[in-house]
Structure 1
Amino acid sequence: MLNDDELLRYSRQLLLPRFDVEGQLALKQARVLVVGCGGLGCPAALYLGAAGVGNLVLADDDRVELANLQRQVAFDQSAIDRPKAEALADRVRAINPEISVTAHAGRLEGDALAAIVSDVDLVLDCTDNFNTRFALNRACVAARVPLVSGAAIRGEGQVSVYDSRDEVSPCYHCLYPEQGNEDLTCSEAGVIGPLVGMIGATQAMEAIKVLSGKGRPLVGRLLILDAWQMEWREMKLARDPGCPVCG
């Protein structure tokens, strides 16, 4: 159940008729993995922690740099050269001491990735490279764990939810084949700061919907943002029957 401090802390969410105590308890009992503690992972983890997700696992093998501070809003000057996962975990704990936050400062891959994905209820892909995204997708499909995927570069971003528990849901591989994709990072192409906040916050909202069973998640839909024009577009996604991962 919720204690008195939690009833007060989450009171604005508990007032929502479609959310109520049932939705809050679902968040409290959930275990969520956030892979990538940068521009997307910072707002996503902060919002999920503040919202009361009971167990957060934050994974990133990178360290905070001065150039990160323009958009990675969980960090300040004193965090420079700290492991991002640990610095972000400390920030989330400072916001909400009611929850459990675990930092994983190494690279997740192979059996370690499969094991941690199979031990959570939801994964957020907040990374910036295709190899990790494909590996996360394969692990989530194998473990039948929903994946909330976000990406942002320059002034453009996108979000979708891939839920292998749903028979009609595509996976990430249905949309992007592993061959022919070239990584283009923010350090090479640039990115406007508020964009990653918008996409990361959208990922957090989608995660809350999936975990609580409230609302309509972006399953089978890709939401695309042009921040310079402030235009959102939606594309319908279908499962590829020939997909080597989920087909």
Structure 2
Amino acid sequence: MNDEALLRYSRQIMLDAIDIEGQERLLESHALIVGAGGLGSPVALYLAAAGVGRLTLADADEVELSNLQRQIAHTQSDLGRNKAESAGEAAVALNPGCRVRTLTTHLEGERLDTVVAECDLVLDCTDRFSSRYAINRACQLAGKPLISGAAIRFSGQLAVFDPRDPNNPCYACLYPPGDAGANDDELRCAENGVVAPLVGLIGSFQALEAVKLLSGAGQVHRGLSTFDGLHGEWRHFRVRRDPACPVCSGR
């Protein structure tokens, strides 16, 4: 790191859990963010600001007026633009040293597998069960940690799935495919609403877990945490790996 980088990241380098070695690991890391909306906005901005060296942002949607209530990487002037490109531009404006690649088509199949295999970890910032299952499968196949977030109405969820740990469950262990409601793509902000700061809170926690994983700081989140925004309460649940899981049982 040069003097400018040392000054930029000085507040993190001061932390014993990160120090210079951890900051250098961040600068050498590559994170994939799938979804550049409510959750992906704070994730992209905070990871760029924290010094993650490479970000790949994937989103096929365009910025709409109703997005601006909560998707803070986009502004009024971005209406009609692709979300990945808009969020990528915002991340680079915050930290020009961050290398950002944008993918403006829906990731699926072999393309999803290839992109996941290229990164160090994945942050699922999507709002569809079908996308979450596909991302989980790709992460299990490539052996990449997955940081999953969800937010709707006043309720949020956070979970980290790391296939490098033989005892760690995957997303399909938590929400088995075929369970009631598990394939209901109508449980989305567009149909049910969401309070603006909630996505920022959950996205910020996703970014925090990514910084910890990439830098080697602290202990990674385990299990499932849910947040009740109306009452300001967190609850934590242990999630056991399902030996019959159709996705990770053969790991």
Q: Which of the numbers 228, 242, 245 marks the counterpart of 2:244?
A: 242
1:235: how far off? 0.4
What per-residue deviation string (whole Å, max 9, x for no partner) do you get for residues 92-118 of structure 1?
A: 000001110111111000000000001
1:104 is the counterpart of 2:123: no
Aligned length in residues: 245
Q: Gaps (5+ residues) in structure 2?
A: none
Structure 1 partner of 2:204: 201
Q: One-letter code of the match for 1:118?
A: A
Question: Take 2:99 and 2:64, find their aligned partners in 1: how far apart are those partners?
Answer: 26
Match of 1:215 in 2: 218
CA deviation profile, 1:27-64 (whole Å, cap 9, x unmatched):
11111000000000000110000000000000000000
Structure 1: gaps of 5 or more residues: none
Q: Which residue of 2 aligns with 1:4?
A: 3
SS of equivalent residue, structure 1 residue 39: coil
1:233 aligns with 2:232: no
Structure 2 CA distance, aligned partners of 1:101 and 1:52? Answer: 12
Per the alignment, in what secondary structure is the counterpart of residue 211 of structure 2?
A: helix
C-alpha separation between the residues in 2 aligned to 1:24 and 1:124?
A: 20
Rounded to whole Å, the distance in 2 between the matches of 1:198 and 1:98 is: 25
Structure 2 residue matching 1:108: 3-state secondary structure: coil
**Over 2 Å off, 4+ runs:** none
CA deviation after TM superposition for structure 1 residue 85, in Å: 0.2
1:73 aligned to 2:72? yes
1:72: how far off? 0.2
- 1:177 Cα offset (Å): 1.4
Task: Work out whether residues 36 and 84 of structure 2, in 8 Å CA contact, stay in contact via their aligned partners in 1.
Answer: yes
Query: Cα offset for 1:5?
Result: 1.1
Deviations 1:179-211 (A, max 9, x none): 132121101110000000000000000011111
Is 1:129 aligned to 2:128, yes or no?
yes
Distance in 2 (alpha carbons) for counterparts of 1:238 and 1:175: 8
- The structural deviation recorded for 1:22 is 1.0
Alignment of 1:108-123 (within 5 A): 108-123=107-122
Identity of aligned residues (%): 53
Aligned to 2:24: 25
More displaced stretch, 65-74 vs 171-180: 171-180
The answer as to 2:86 corresponding to 1:87 is: yes
1:42-57 correspondence runs (5 A): 42-57=41-56
Aligned amino acid, residue 35 of structure 1: V
Determine helix, strand or coil for the equivalent of 2:86: helix
2:59 aligned with 1:60, yes or no?
yes
- AA in 1 matched with 2:234: W
CA distance in 2, matches of 1:216, 1:160: 13
How far apart, in 1, do the equivalents of 2:154 and 2:220 lie? 24
* Superposition CA RMSD, Å: 0.6
Whole-Å separation in 1 of the counterparts to 2:104 and 2:5 = 29
Distance 2:98 2:92 in 1: 7
SS of the residue 1:209 aligns to:
helix
Q: Under a length normalisation based on structure 2, what TM-score does the superposition of the two structures give? A: 0.97
